[in-house]
Structure 1
């Protein structure tokens, strides 16, 4: 049975494997009043990725926790719910206990400011190396993202991360979409640190938006093509944020890019 802990009332056991080894994963869900934006997608991802880690949790347990959290914290203003699932207490050593007793730590916070205008971003100087075993999972070991964010200059809203060949793959807290003509370019989930639910919703909607998909990293050559129409960052809390500048490089902001951003704003309720 899933144990639920409220971060504002309960203490986290010091021997919890999430704290000791990063043995778990999390979801960050925007709540507008009592409505969880992309809520079903978040729950499906958490259950699916928990299964990849060998952590047993049911959809019904997660849905019940979400409902209880909304009842506990909901107010008139948008807010952010964090569901942090660990394998539970397991004592010393990497080998997980059998059976494990999963723990869900529940917390909330205000919605961060959503940029009204396109933003400037930086590029982290170190390549992002993805372990295929953990690709796409929003697991608890986010040290590369921590280090990238720590190095981000004050003028930047986000820092972009590259693969070993120098192509752009994602942001420290966002997924990346390049628009070239009517083609959206973004790496496949198996090459991402986090495969976001806002990204997932957008990719499913591309045919309705008159767009097609090419799954690969974004190269410098893409951004010099005459039909290049801009870069967009996606995130389930803020929706879509257009990039106007990478360091000193100016990027186009097009109507087609605005259409995608509008879809994402509706999807997350921003």
Structure 2
């Protein structure tokens, strides 16, 4: 059984392993009309992440907590629900307890400001992103690289894109990315990503359903200036999908096909 903590009334104990070691995972859901969007995908990723980390989590308890949160924090406008799952308290030392009591912390937040339609400016982060293959795609609490990259983000830019040590594009500090070419779409492999986003999965499935090829390949920066490149999208489960107008001083095209995909509402209500 998990321990439920409400951020507006409860306190997280100092002994919690999420605080001490980043021993946990999290999800961020956009709530529209009182219902969590892309909830099935969020629940599946949280369950999968808990399984990979060896944190016991029961689907029905998780779904019940989301229902309670939507009722507790209900408001007329769109808002954001954050779920933080930790292994719970376990004393000092890296070795986890044999029988942990996981802690699920729920909090409500206002929607972040969204840029105007038509595209955003992004920057290249100075810090490279390193991804341990064992933890690839896992939305863990250990996000120091993203914090440092965001700290140096120019104010006129919406996002910082991160590269690996070879200079290949991977993802943003809070978004995934896709490039459109004349023969289909390209996105970095999930096995190379720090976070394999639920919106990324949603968009990929929608593109494939439309008959548009999507390939998971490494993306060298040179591909952006190829005449075959028709533009880039960034995406996550809160902001949705947005075209990129420029990366630093490099201007990017926004083709008709790219703009069409960016205009689709990929948010769907769930069964919750």
Q: If the length of structure 2 is used for normalisation, what is the TM-score?
A: 0.96
SS at match of 1:126: coil
| Gaps in structure 1 of 5+ consecutive residues | none
| Superposed counterparts of 1:168-247, under 5 Å | 168-247=169-248
Distance (whole Å) between structure 2 residues aligned to residue 89 and residue 98 of structure 1: 12
1:90-115: per-residue Cα shift (whole Å, max 9, x none)? Answer: 00000000100000000010111122
| Gaps in structure 2 of 5+ consecutive residues | none
| Superposed counterparts of 1:72-221, under 5 Å | 72-117=72-117, 118-221=119-222
Partner of 2:15: 15
Partner of 2:249: 248
The answer (yes or no) to whether the contact 2:137–2:194 under 8 Å persists in 1 is: yes
Instruction: Report the CA distance between 1:268 and its aligned residue.
Output: 5.7
Greater Cα offset, 147-156 or 21-30 = 147-156
The answer (yes or no) to whether the contact 2:127–2:145 under 8 Å persists in 1 is: no
Partner of 1:27: 27
Distance (whole Å) between structure 1 residues aligned to residue 209 and residue 181 of structure 2: 17
Distance (whole Å) between structure 2 residues aligned to residue 268 and residue 238 of structure 1: 14
Distance (whole Å) between structure 2 residues aligned to residue 58 and residue 254 of structure 1: 44
Distance (whole Å) between structure 2 residues aligned to residue 268 and residue 250 of structure 1: 32
Q: How many residues align?
A: 268
Distance (whole Å) between structure 2 residues aligned to residue 50 and residue 127 of structure 1: 27
Alpha-carbon distance change, 4 to 60 in structure 1, aligned in 2, over 3 angstroms = same
The answer (yes or no) to whether the contact 1:178–1:232 under 8 Å persists in 2 is: yes
Instruction: Report the CA distance between 1:147 and its aligned residue.
Output: 0.3
Greater Cα offset, 200-209 or 138-147 = 200-209
Distance (whole Å) between structure 2 residues aligned to residue 170 and residue 220 of structure 1: 12
The list of structure 1 runs, each at least 4 consecutive aligned residues, that deviate by more than 6 angstroms after superposition, is none
Q: If the length of structure 1 is used for normalisation, what is the TM-score?
A: 0.96
1:70-108: per-residue Cα shift (whole Å, max 9, x none)? Answer: 010111100000000000000000000010000000001
Distance (whole Å) between structure 2 residues aligned to residue 20 and residue 266 of structure 1: 36
Alpha-carbon distance change, 78 to 42 in structure 1, aligned in 2, over 3 angstroms = same
